[in-house]
Amino acid sequence: MTSVPEFVAARLRAWGVDRAFGTLGPDVDPLIAALNGGRRAPEFVPVRHEESAALMACAHAKLTGRAGCCLAPSGPGALRLISGLYDAALDRQPVVAIIGEEPTSPRAGDRRRAVSTADLFAHVSEYSERVTDPALLSDALDRVLRASLAARGAATLIVSRPVLDAKVPSEPRGEEATASPLHVHPPLRPLDEHVQHAADVLNDGRRAAVVVGPDAAGAAGRITEVAERLGAGVAKTPAGRDVLPDDLPFMTGVAAHFGSATAASLIRECDTLLLIGAHDFDVGLVSVSGEVRQVVTVDLDAGACPVDEKTAAVRVTGDVALTMETLLPRLRHRADRRWRHAVEQAVEEWRADGQVKARRFFGMAISPRSVVAELSARLPDHAIVVTDTGSALDWWSRHLHLRDGMRAILSRRLGTPGAAVPYAVAARLAFPERPVIALVGDGALQAGGMNELITVRRHLERIAALPPLIFCVLNNEDLSRLTWLRRQEAGDPRIPTTGEVPAVSYAQYAEVLGLPAVRSVRPGDVALAWTQALAAEGPVLLEFMVDGDTPPDWADTEDGPLAGQGLRHAIDTSSWRRRVTTSVSRRLGSG
What's the rounded Cα separation, in Å, for the pair 256 and 249?
A: 20
Distance between CA atoms of residues 336 and 192, nearest Å = 28
Asked if residue 190 lies in contact with residue 326, where contact means CB atoms within 8 angstroms, the answer is yes
The lowest-confidence range among 113-117, 208-212, 381-385 is 113-117
Identity (one letter) of the amino acid at 494? R
Give the pLDDT confidence of 342-394 residue by residue, as tens digits: 999 999 999 999 999 999 888 788 999 999 999 999 999 999 999 998 899 99
Instruction: Give percent above pLDDT 90 in the chain.
Output: 70
Band (178; pLDDT cuts 50, 70, 90): very low
Average confidence score pLDDT of the chain: 86
What DSSP letter does each residue of 398-467 carry, written as one string?
Answer: HH----TT-EEE---SS--TT-HHHHHHHHHHH-TTS-EEEEEEHHHIIIIIHHHHHHHHHTHHHHTTSS
**CA separation for the pair 233, 340 (Å, rounded):** 6
Confidence of residue 306 (pLDDT cuts 50, 70, 90): low
Categorize the per-residue pLDDT at 104 as very low, low, confident or very high, splitting at 50, 70 and 90: low
pLDDT of residue 40: 73
The mean pLDDT value for 183-193 works out to 84
pTM: 0.89
Lowest mean pLDDT of 108-117, 376-385, 531-540, name the range: 108-117
* Axis crossing angle, helix 420-430 with helix 450-458, rounded to the nearest 10: 20
State residue 390's pLDDT score. Answer: 87
What's the whole-number mean pLDDT along residues 244-252? 97
Does 555 have pLDDT greater than 90? no
Report the alpha-carbon distance of residue 163 to residue 100 in Å, rounded: 10
Residue 246 backbone phi and psi in degrees, to 5: -90, -5
Which pLDDT band, with edges at 50, 70 and 90, does 292 fall under? low
Kindly give the pairing relationship between strand 469-475 and strand 294-299.
unpaired
pLDDT in tens, 307-331: 655 566 789 999 999 999 999 999 9
Is the pLDDT assigned to residue 573 strictly greater than 70?
no
Which of 328-332, 546-550, 569-573 shows the highest mean pLDDT? 328-332
First to last CA, the chain: 73
Indicate if the pLDDT at residue 252 is higher than 50.
yes
Work out the average pLDDT over 190-212.
95
Please say if the pLDDT value at position 570 is more than 50. Answer: no
**Cα 150 vs. chain centroid, distance in angstroms?**
20
Count CB atoms within 10 A of the CB of residue 174: 7
Residue 563 reports pLDDT greater than 60: no
Confidence of residue 301 (pLDDT cuts 50, 70, 90): confident
Lowest mean pLDDT across 30-44, 418-432, 493-507: 493-507
Neighbours of 65 (CB within 10 A): 13
Q: Is the pLDDT of residue 261 over 60?
A: yes
**3-state DSSP helix/strand/coil % of the chain, to nearest 5:** 45, 15, 40
Q: What is the pLDDT of residue 478?
A: 85
Give the residue from 308, 302, 279 showing the smallest Cα distance to 216: 279
The predicted pLDDT at position 577 comes to 34
Cβ-based neighbour number of residue 215 at 10 Å: 26
Please give the full DSSP string across 536-557, using - where no structure is assigned.
S-SEEEEEEEB-TT---GGG--
Segment 474-503, tens digit of pLDDT: 999 888 888 888 877 777 666 666 678 889
Number of neighbours of residue 587 by Cβ within 10 angstroms? 21
**How far, in Å, CA of 341 to CA of 255, rounded?**
20
